[in-house]
Structure formats: C-alpha cells, structure tokens
Amino acid sequence: MSMFNPNSFYYPYPKDIPKGLIKALILACLLLGLAGLRKAEGFQGWLIVFENWLLMLVLFPTATAVVALPFKYRDPTFALKNAYYLGMFVALLFILAKLRYWR
C-alpha cells in the first residue's frame, strides 16, 4: 500500500482544495524565499533565503496548526491540513510585507 494513497492519513492534499492550488502555493513560497538573495550576497544571502523558507514552510504553518488543535479536539472532522496550508498562505503574505519593507 502506498504512503500517498488518497485515503491515507499521510496524503498531503486536503480533499476540498485543488492539488494545483496547493502546489502553486508551495512553489510561490519557494520562489518568494529566493528574494532574500537581493538583500545580501553570498553566504549571507543564502542564510536569508533559508530563513524565509523556514518561516514560510515550517514555522508559521506549524504554529497555525498548533493553535487550531482545540478545533480538532472539539470537531473530529476538522482537517488540520487546511490549517497548515492557511498558515502557509499567511506566511506568504507576511513575507510579501517584509519584502515591501526592505524596499
């Protein structure tokens, strides 16, 4: 049995959101993270890129999912994957504001 079976718990895509939209969000986060190379050159620029990726793909989404855990406790049908992707979208907006501030 495949790990990425749509009926599996580990399937990365929520049922209600199109796969293309999720892939576009992840791609936008990865490409927007590369904007850190404009701020600095060399190793320092790649550190900024890594920081942006860490913020957009791990920290903000995980914090949003942790805050949404009481909703999962209250309603077992609540999908934490949706909260994770919401956090990723919020992080994308945060990084856009951060880039606007850098300019």
Locate the domains of the chain by residue range: 19-102
Q: Are 68 and 83 in contact (CB under 8 A)?
A: yes
∠ CA 76-81-86 to the nearest 5 degrees? 115
Q: What is the pLDDT of residues 60-100, one digit of tens each?
A: 999 999 999 998 889 888 888 888 989 999 999 998 998 88
Q: What is the pLDDT of residues 42-51, one digit of tens each?
A: 899 899 999 9
Q: Are 87 and 61 in contact (CB under 8 A)?
A: yes
